[in-house]
Chain A
Amino acid sequence: MDQSQIEFRNVSFRYQEDMPWVLRNVSFTIGADEWVAIIGHNGSGKSTIAKLMNGLLFPQEGKILVDGEEVTQDTLWEIRKRVGMVFQNPDNQFVGTTVRDDVAFGMENHGMPREVMIKRIKESLNAVGMTEFERHEPHRLSGGQKQRVAIASVLAVSPRYIILDEATAMLDPKGRKEILKTIRTVQEERELSLITITHDLQEVTQAERVIVMNGGEVWMESTPRDIFSKKDSLIEIGLDTPFVSKLADHMKDAGLELSREPLNHQELLEELWTSRSIK
């Protein structure tokens, strides 16, 4: 039973009997230490997937397995220890009256001893660069700082999977970059899978794998590079492609030959000077 992965097996879900299906026959697997991005138009079912992963919702059909164990009412509490989740609005997930109380909240729920909590509060605040704010109340923090606290709170419980449901949407580009870097570092240090749900294309390009949702179904599952090379179909299902990717397209139209789909400026630059050099 030592399979660290989250598996969706033919999952279908609707919020109510008389409502249309929100997810239809969704299957995918997220492995250990993987970074998977889930993208899709508004209402395509991304947040619903996230809520199914840690038992905030249960599917009507199909199964969800976390580390080989089905998510049910009985396994719920155990699974929530392993699957952490950060939501979009940083204000509405801040439970404690101060930063340290909020970071402790999850650990208190899981009945951890006080000494462990104190140690982990220090560690996780340090990981997100919020150590000096330990005693601050939430109303003295910016949105980005609150979001860091939310991430620290999840890290403190030390889950195996972290779901970020548009957790960086409220941040400015700089804050977003910093948070992603933070998460990256943490992921490298610990055994951790990341599931990021996002509309931010820069974030998507950093993932190892992308699941594209469309109208409640998995539309495609592939690497970012592969996905962004299918621009026309992406636009058809209401998604955009990164700037670099668009630029590369225009260059191709203008007669430049590129050997692969560039994901960032660096890669484009490399493509350009190697394609122009005489071999």
Chain B
Amino acid sequence: MSSSLIIGQYVPGNSVIHRIDPRSKIAIIFFYVVIVFFANSVMSYGVLALFAIGASLISKVPFPYLMKGLKPVWFLVLFTFILHLIVTKQGDVLISILGWEIYREGVVQGAAISLRFFLLILVTSLLTLTTTPIEITDAIEELLGPLKKVRFPVHELALMMSISLRFIPTLMQETEKISKAQASRGVDFRTGAFKDRVRAVIPLLVPLFVSAFKRAEDLAMAMEARGYQGGEGRTKLRELTISRRDIAAYIVFAGIVTALFLTRS
């Protein structure tokens, strides 16, 4: 049970990629997402792929985990590829199947778009695979820091995220408990018409919500009793530090960007 309770996809490890500051990771991935759209030659795609695949290898995250992130979008990738084959009508005709002509440009563009998708998903999953959710939360709080000036509730947002992270496993354990209790009374969640199954879930959701609200109330009280009064004047135990590793990562990434623009056609 406990293994299924680990939230997010974090795969514990001690690689360089794991230890890069989460802010650096987010920043680099953000720019990576932007520059992916500048690639337009085989070589430039190669440079981008080199970066993504290289980083994946260094992270030592097992291959199946990397592929898992791709699973939900497989269909989308395939769909856009086929769409391009059908819609794009430029270049030479490569083959014609049952009267449908497939053009060269269609294949090229379809492949390019699919590759972009693939790279984007690989890189973003690499972030969640090598960074704990709480580190990501801390990083977001830091990166959004400047927005405090325009009264954007950055601290509150981060606190909300971290409390959710804290309570998701608890609520999942509770759901399991309630569903077992209901199942022991003969409620059937798994078979029957959709309508019946929805009806069976209601006795599960109601107690869950009631207890979640009770928890929220208790937690608010406990937080206040422990002196919580908002982000003002608060210090933090968890600390993010930019190290030499981060500088190295930035330099490598700058190299990739340069190479990309040199290999563009």
Kindly state the separation between the CA atoms of A95 and B162 in the bound complex, as whole angstroms: 9
Instruction: Determine if A9 is an interface residue (Cβ-Cβ < 8 Å).
Output: no
Asked if residues A139 and B2 are in contact (CB atoms below 8 Å), the reply is yes
Asked if residues B236 and A80 are in contact (CB atoms below 8 Å), the reply is no
Asked if residues B166 and A56 are in contact (CB atoms below 8 Å), the reply is no
A109-117, A122-130, A168-176: which lies at the interface:
A109-117
Asked if residues A92 and B225 are in contact (CB atoms below 8 Å), the reply is no
Within 8 A of A (CB), among B189-232: 214-215, 218-219, 221-229
Q: What does DSSP make chain A's interface, helix, strand, loop or mixed?
A: helix
Residues of B within 8 A of A100 (CB): 237
Asked if residues A108 and B221 are in contact (CB atoms below 8 Å), the reply is no
Residue with the highest number of chain B CB atoms closer than 10 Å, among A51, A85, A93, A98: A93
Asked if residues A139 and B219 are in contact (CB atoms below 8 Å), the reply is no
Residue with the highest number of chain A CB atoms closer than 10 Å, among B215, B224, B229: B224
**Closest approach, in angstroms, between the C-beta of A113 and any C-beta of chain B?**
6
Residues of B within 8 A of A111 (CB): 233-235
Asked if residues A80 and B235 are in contact (CB atoms below 8 Å), the reply is no
Asked if residues B218 and A106 are in contact (CB atoms below 8 Å), the reply is no
Residues of A within 8 A of B228 (CB): 105, 109
Residues of A within 8 A of B163 (CB): 95
Asked if residues B239 and A114 are in contact (CB atoms below 8 Å), the reply is yes
Asked if residues B224 and A56 are in contact (CB atoms below 8 Å), the reply is yes
Residues of A within 8 A of B169 (CB): 137-139
Q: Which residue of B lies closest to A98 (CB)?
A: B134
Instruction: Determine if B165 is an interface residue (Cβ-Cβ < 8 Å).
Output: yes
A interface size (C-beta, 8 A):
41
Asked if residues B226 and A91 are in contact (CB atoms below 8 Å), the reply is no
Q: Which residue of B lies closest to A112 (CB)?
A: B235
Residue with the highest number of chain B CB atoms closer than 10 Å, among A100, A101, A117: A101
Q: Which residue of A lies closest to B233 (CB)?
A: A111
Asked if residues B227 and A110 are in contact (CB atoms below 8 Å), the reply is yes
Residues of A within 8 A of B214 (CB): 92
Residues of B within 8 A of A118 (CB): 237
Asked if residues A117 and B226 are in contact (CB atoms below 8 Å), the reply is no
Asked if residues B173 and A139 are in contact (CB atoms below 8 Å), the reply is yes
Excluding A87-B222, A97-B162, A114-B236, 19 further A-B contacts by CB distance (< 8 Å) are A56-B221, A77-B227, A84-B225, A84-B226, A85-B225, A92-B222, A93-B219, A93-B222, A95-B163, A107-B235, A107-B237, A108-B236, A109-B228, A113-B235, A114-B235, A118-B237, A138-B170, A139-B5, A140-B2
Residues of B at the A interface (CB closer than 8 Å) are: 2, 5, 134, 162-163, 165-166, 169-170, 173, 214-215, 218-219, 221-229, 233-239
